[in-house]
Chain A
């Protein structure tokens, strides 16, 4: 986003609305630090500017800066996958897609959340760590898949590495016996990261509405625990005409 200097009256009301903390005073006007801005559009949607000085610049949809908007503005539709939010349906449609099917476990590494955002270098650090451990199965219907230059090394396309987004999700489904290897690879890379991530594990439920015991054992064996809240797919989705 940008603030038109010749329109801005310097009231500063827009500044606390920025999730990136990218708006500050310069020469008695508000200005947006283009390096920090996620292009999330929050300042514009807030309609807080009394003189409409906040605008979307023409380069917002130009590659690679466009990734900022696709990954950070929930009202936008991702150009690669045609899906809103972070550009992936993940477990929310698992009853229809079986993206994470019987005998499998889904992993989602949600980088940048809570609240901090991140540079895309953090994604590369994780994809490289996964690749070093022989893990290359990034979900094909997740936009991160298209950002990887070389799946053998986990390298991202170099032109992306200067970009920042509010969050993105590295997502994969693997056979359950490989869960310990993945959790170990993820834990190893944590000290290298500049931001935070949240970690998800997805499984189909077993009769009695229980999680497969081998999945729970793998999580515990790696010294991890699950939180008391979760997202549950109710199994009401269907393939319809």
Chain B
């Protein structure tokens, strides 16, 4: 489910984190999707989607845009991120104008996404609400780690690897941006928000310096 409605962490931080999806429906509009997929990519690039990908190839932070385009088949899934509400508005306006007939989904903080829909002149059809996490929550990693790992909806990012990257960033071996890109490579859908991740690293480092 790409799990994007269950992203966690500080809400102000999540206001810089939007996920977009293009979805074909099996048995309905899932044949010869490539021309439409290329139109989605063109719009996403035009409005500055910072990361996107096709799960069948991987994210653009790891593979070239041409490689991803070449790999598109009817089994592809295109997804990506935006970091600003204005991008969501532009994206929706242009996709609506193109009238491609594919399902479009945006995940994000409701207080931002609903006004973006109104501004773009789009009337959403349905909503998928999160009622939170249940069960053996004591087995979960800490909240800071979850704020990062939940940005890969399929949960391919091991908490142990987040700890490893954090240590490298803290020691100055890599920059927060480099660490965030290492983590983005796990997320083949291309919905890992590396900009937000780098910000989280910077905030935690600043807080640790203050504590010292």
By a beta-carbon cutoff of 8 Å, the part of chain A in contact with chain B is: 16-19, 21, 40, 42, 45-46, 74-75, 77, 81-86, 88-97, 100, 106, 108, 110, 112-116, 141, 166-167, 169, 186-187, 190, 193-205, 209, 211, 219, 224-240
Nearest CB on B from A176, distance (A): 13
In the complex, which residues of chain A have a beta carbon less than 8 angstroms from the beta carbon of B209? none
Q: Smallest distance from the beta carbon of B30 to chain A beta carbons, Å?
A: 9
Q: When each residue 96-138 of chain B gets 1 if its CB lies under 8 Å from chain A and 0 otherwise, what string results?
A: 1001111111111111011001100011111111111111110
* A96 and B29 form a contact (CB under 8 A): yes
If A19-B155, A239-B28 touch, does A113 touch B3 (CB 8 Å cutoff)?
yes
Q: Give the number of residue pairs across the A-B interface with Cβ within 8 Å.
A: 273
> Given the complex, which residues of B lie within 8 Å of A204, measured CB to CB?
125-126
Give chain B's interface secondary structure class. Answer: mixed
Contacts of B161 in A (CB 8 A): 16-17
With contacts A84-B55, A90-B1 known, is A46 near B104, CB below 8 A? no
**Cα distance, A83 to B8, chains bound together (Å):** 27
Question: Smallest CB–CB gap between A24 and chain B, Å?
Answer: 12
Residue numbers of B with Cβ under 8 A of A are 1-8, 11, 14, 19, 21, 23-26, 28-29, 55-56, 58, 75, 77, 92, 95-96, 99-111, 113-114, 117-118, 122-137, 139-141, 146, 149-150, 154-161, 164, 185-186, 188-189
Distance A201 CA – B67 CA, assembled complex (angstroms):
37
- Cβ–Cβ contact A195 & B135, under 8 A: yes
CA distance A204 to B122 in the complex (A): 15
When the two chains form the complex, which single residue of A93, A167, A196 contacts B23, counting CB atoms closer than 8 Å? A93
Give the distance in Å from the alpha carbon of A172 to the alpha carbon of B148 in the complex.
29
Chain A nearest CB from B128 CB (Å) reads 4
Contact of B5 among A85, A169, A230 (CB under 8 A): A230
**Are A198 and B3 interface neighbours, CB within 8 A?**
yes
Contact A231 B158 (CB under 8 A): no
User: A89 → chain B, closest Cβ, in Å?
Assistant: 7
The one of A193, A230, A235 that contacts B128, using a Cβ cutoff of 8 Å: A230
B164 touching A16 by the CB < 8 A rule?
A: yes
Q: How far is the CB of A186 from chain B (nearest CB, A)?
A: 8
23 A-B pairs, CB-CB below 8 angstroms?
A16-B161, A45-B188, A46-B185, A86-B1, A90-B1, A92-B23, A93-B23, A106-B128, A110-B3, A110-B6, A113-B6, A116-B136, A199-B132, A200-B129, A205-B127, A209-B118, A209-B124, A226-B131, A227-B129, A232-B126, A232-B128, A234-B103, A237-B25
Q: Are B105 and A209 within 8 A (Cβ)? A: no
Chain A residues within 8 Å of B113, by CB: 230, 232
A92 to chain B: which residues have CB within 8 Å?
21, 23, 103, 105
- Does B135 contact A197, Cβ atoms closer than 8 Å? yes
